[in-house]
Structure formats: C-alpha cells, structure tokens
Amino acid sequence: MFVQVIQGQVVDAEPVRAAMDQWVAQLAAGATGWLGSSAGVTEDGRFIALARFESVAAAQANSERPEQDQWWSQTARLFTGEPTFQDSTDVMLDLVGNPDDAGFVQIIQGRGTDSDRARELMSHDSDEWSAFRPDIIGTVAVGHDEGAYTMAAYFTSEQAAREGERKEPPPKLKAQMEELSKLSIGEPEYFDLKQPWLYSPR
C-alpha cells in the first residue's frame, strides 16, 4: 500500500471540503488503485489528508492525469501557504471496523527512536485492545524518514474517545503504552478532526 500525507493551512474549511467532494464525484472513478482518503481541518485551520493507493504506480498514474493536475492547481489556491506532501509505502493497518463510519478522527505526527519496535508493539494483542477500547474502529500508521510517523486513529465519536482516554488500561496494555511513550522523541502533534471527511471508492 502507498499513502500520501498532504498538509497545509487554510482560512476556511468549507471550500476545501467542497473541492474534496468534487474530486470524489468527478475524478475518483478514473483513479485506478485509489483505496480511500481521510481528511479534515482542525479548529485552528490545519488541513491534513491521508490518501491511500494500492501502489506507488497507481498514485503516480493518478497524479499524471491532466484532470488531476487541473483540479489540484485550483485547490492549491485555497491554502494560505504551500501545502506539503509526504509519500510512504511503510503502512500498517489495524482495522476492526469500517473507518468510514468514524465520527471522530485523531491524527498524530511525531518521531521515534525505534520504528521496528514500535510496529512490533502496535501489532500485539489486537483482541485485548479491541476489548479495552471498543471506541477505536481502527488505525492507519504511516512511517516516514528518520523515525517520523503519521498515525490516524478512527473513533466511533469524540465523546467515546475522550471517555476511553480516561480509562485505566490493564497491566499488559499499560506496559506497552509506556514502552511506546519511551520510544517517542519530543512531543507529538495532534490533529483533532471533529468533522472528518471520509471517502472510499463507490
């Protein structure tokens, strides 16, 4: 799988959402290998999107379409500065439900000291995590260069997510959380998408 993370600052979320809706309605059918996109704007105007494709080749073929170039040239004007792009094939999915059903999405960006160990910890005890945090529909973790990462967590609702954050985890899961925290460098950045835009091929 290939994921492209797109970020930028916007003044008004609505025109950007309209542009995303337009892409899905008019261009998505021709984007062979597109698996879905998760996007949104935080309350302080930070836009972030994760576009998922079957492969690098599929994403490249989409970006080379004239209609894609035209759409993006118009959409890019909605940002206050130059949007950034991060591409990755280091993708890890953990889904217990359909992410498109999420009522709240939190995207976390940070950096760690040991990506392999972090992936190993995140792959452990999925059933126990699901029992402990039924509010989590799934996660998509994307690795970048030099230990950087982007992780999208899909929740049933923001209220359920906040309630889940306050729960005391069982000892084994708590130990995993503590080890993951020790692998982190600095403070991660959080993007709370209270009205997430979730798209999938029709």
Residue 149's identity, in one-letter code, is: Y
Residue 55 pLDDT: 97
pLDDT over 90 (residue 122): no
Residue 49 pLDDT: 98
Into which CATH architecture does domain 2-89 fall? 2-Layer Sandwich (3.30)
In whole angstroms, give the CA distance from residue 173 to residue 124. 9
In what side-by-side order are the strands of the sheet with 189-193?
91-95, 136-143, 148-155, 104-111, 189-193
pLDDT per position as a tens digit, 138-173: 999 999 999 999 999 999 999 999 999 999 999 999
Its pTM stands at 0.93
* Contact criterion met (CB below 8 Å) for 107 and 193: yes
pLDDT over 80 (residue 124): no
| CATH code that applies to domain 91-193 | 3.30.70.100
Residue 129 pLDDT: 87
Which region among 37-46, 80-89, 112-121, 139-148 has the lowest average model confidence (pLDDT)? Answer: 112-121
In Å, how far are 46, 166, 182 from 80, measured between CA atoms? 10, 36, 36
Backbone angles phi, psi at 54, to 5 degrees: -65, -30
The residue assigned the tokens 């040991």 is 114
pLDDT per position as a tens digit, 130-146: 899 999 999 999 999 99
pLDDT per position as a tens digit, 47-98: 999 999 999 999 999 999 999 999 999 999 999 999 999 999 999 998 888 9
Residue 167 pLDDT: 93
pLDDT per position as a tens digit, 190-201: 999 999 999 999
Specify the domain boundaries for CATH 3.30.70.100 within the chain: 2-89, 91-193
